[in-house]
Amino acid sequence: MPSFDVVSEIDQHELNNAIDQTKREIDTRFDFRGTSAALELKDLSVKLTGDTDYHVKSLSDMLLQKLAKRGISLGCVELKDPEPSGKVMHRTINFKEGIDQAVAKKIVIMIKDAKLKVQAQINGDKLRVTGKKKDDLQEAMAAIRASDIELPLQFNNFKE
């Protein structure tokens, strides 16, 4: 029986490339010379460090710009407020992966309301959609793409 998975993932390689490009830009910009401006990636969060609030906001703008150029959707980015820590400012940027239960239920209901001949089931942080025909699955993909889901969704494991 044909099936596919609906997931929300971040390309880790592209995330690393965006961070490396931002670090290189920090090294070349005049307004960051002699400051403690830095980026640090841990799992799916980036810690930005700067001397002032302006530096931290500039760093986050640069990083968001690089992420958008690298094809990472900004819908999965969660910006925290800048926090003072001694003489420096810190800001954490978290990246959301996976589909949470509320969004998954919303997608399942949307598929059922579309009266498509497919079944959707929630498997942890992803959604498995199965059907008898490949065309029905493609209609389900089109319906999911056309929906107003705020998460960036990808389709993988398409099996016939």
Task: Report the pLDDT value the prediction gives residue 67, as an integer from 0 to 100.
Answer: 93
Task: Report the pLDDT value the prediction gives residue 93, as an integer from 0 to 100.
Answer: 94
Full domain range(s) for residue 112? 3-8+99-159
User: Where a domain ends, among 75, 95, 115?
Assistant: 95
Q: Domain check: are 87 and 127 in the same one? A: no
Task: Report the pLDDT value the prediction gives residue 92, as an integer from 0 to 100.
Answer: 94
What would the DSSP string read from start to end of 46-90? EEEEESSHHHHHHHHHHHHHHHHHTT--GGGEEEPPPEEETTEEE
Task: Report the pLDDT value the prediction gives residue 148, as an integer from 0 to 100.
Answer: 83
- The enclosing domain of 27 has a CATH number of 3.30.70.990
Q: Domain check: are 20 and 56 in the same one? A: yes
* Alpha carbons 50 and 90: distance in angstroms, whole number: 7
- The enclosing domain of 144 has a CATH number of 3.30.70.860
User: Where a domain ends, among 45, 78, 95?
Assistant: 95
* Alpha carbons 115 and 135: distance in angstroms, whole number: 14
Task: Report the pLDDT value the prediction gives residue 152, as an integer from 0 to 100.
Answer: 86
User: Where a domain ends, among 95, 129, 149?
Assistant: 95
Task: Report the pLDDT value the prediction gives residue 41, as an integer from 0 to 100.
Answer: 92
Q: Which of 16, 21, 13 is nearest to 59 (CA)?
A: 21
Q: Domain check: are 87 and 32 in the same one? A: yes
Q: Domain check: are 91 and 126 in the same one? A: no
Q: What is the pLDDT of residues 115-151, one digit of tens each?
A: 888 988 898 888 999 989 888 888 888 888 888 888 8
Q: Which residues contact 4 (CB under 8 A, 6 or more apart)?
A: 128, 129, 137, 141, 155, 156, 157, 158, 159
Task: Report the pLDDT value the prediction gives residue 124, as an integer from 0 to 100.
Answer: 85
pLDDT per residue of the chain (160 residues) written in tens, 0 to 9: 888 888 888 889 999 999 999 999 999 989 888 888 999 999 889 999 999 899 999 999 999 999 999 998 888 899 999 899 888 999 999 998 888 888 889 988 888 888 888 988 898 888 999 989 888 888 888 888 888 888 888 888 878 7
Q: How far is CA 44 from the centre of its chain?
A: 10
Q: Which residues contact 37 (CB under 8 A, 6 or more apart)?
A: 26, 49, 50, 51, 55, 59
Task: Report the pLDDT value the prediction gives residue 158, as an integer from 0 to 100.
Answer: 78
* Alpha carbons 75 and 148: distance in angstroms, whole number: 12
Q: Domain check: are 91 and 42 in the same one? A: yes
Q: Domain check: are 107 and 91 in the same one? A: no
Find residue 14's DSSP bridge partners.
none
The domain total for the chain is 2
Q: Domain check: are 87 and 114 in the same one? A: no
Q: Domain check: are 87 and 110 in the same one? A: no
